[in-house]
Amino acid sequence: MSIHLKYAALILPAFLVGCGPNSAQFLQEMEPEAIASAEHRGAFEMNCPSAKATLLSDQTMRPALQTFVVSGPYRAVYNVGVAGCGKRTTYQVICPNNGSKACFDGGSRTEIQVD
């Protein structure tokens, strides 16, 4: 094995680790989109145009598929509470770090509670 190939084998993994996403920055960047998404859904489902959303928690999830050749996108996952018109509920919103700058419903929601 040539000396250049040995150096490449040592340097490549360090370079690839440096190419990972900045999860804190991505979480902060996508937070307004996630909150707005949950707020719109809550306002519709609760039939309450004045509903307001509040961030409850956030985290970054690793891709389900991650190899040296192929990897899925990292995802920001937000739990958002929405309250208004004497009702409240929670939603999970997922924002993939794939360049789309879009979020979607995570499919979970607690039942709407009447205060």
Q: What is the mean pLDDT of each run of 10 residues along the chain (115 residues)?
A: 54 45 85 96 94 95 78 89 94 91 79 73
- Dihedral (C-alpha) 56, 57, 58, 64: value to the nearest 10 degrees? -110
Q: Considering the entire predicted model, what is its pTM?
A: 0.73
Give pLDDT, residue 42: 93
Give pLDDT, residue 17: 42
Q: Residue 86: which of 114, 45, 54, 44 has the closest Cα?
A: 114
Rounded CA gap, 55 and 40, in Å?
A: 14
Can you read off the two tokens belonging to residue 19? 């190419």
Q: Residue 103: which of 41, 54, 45 has the closest Cα?
A: 41
Give pLDDT, residue 62: 85
Residues 6+ apart with CB under 8 A from 92: 77, 78, 79, 80, 105, 106, 107, 108, 109
- Reported as a single tens digit per residue, the pLDDT across 4-21 is 555 545 454 444 444 455
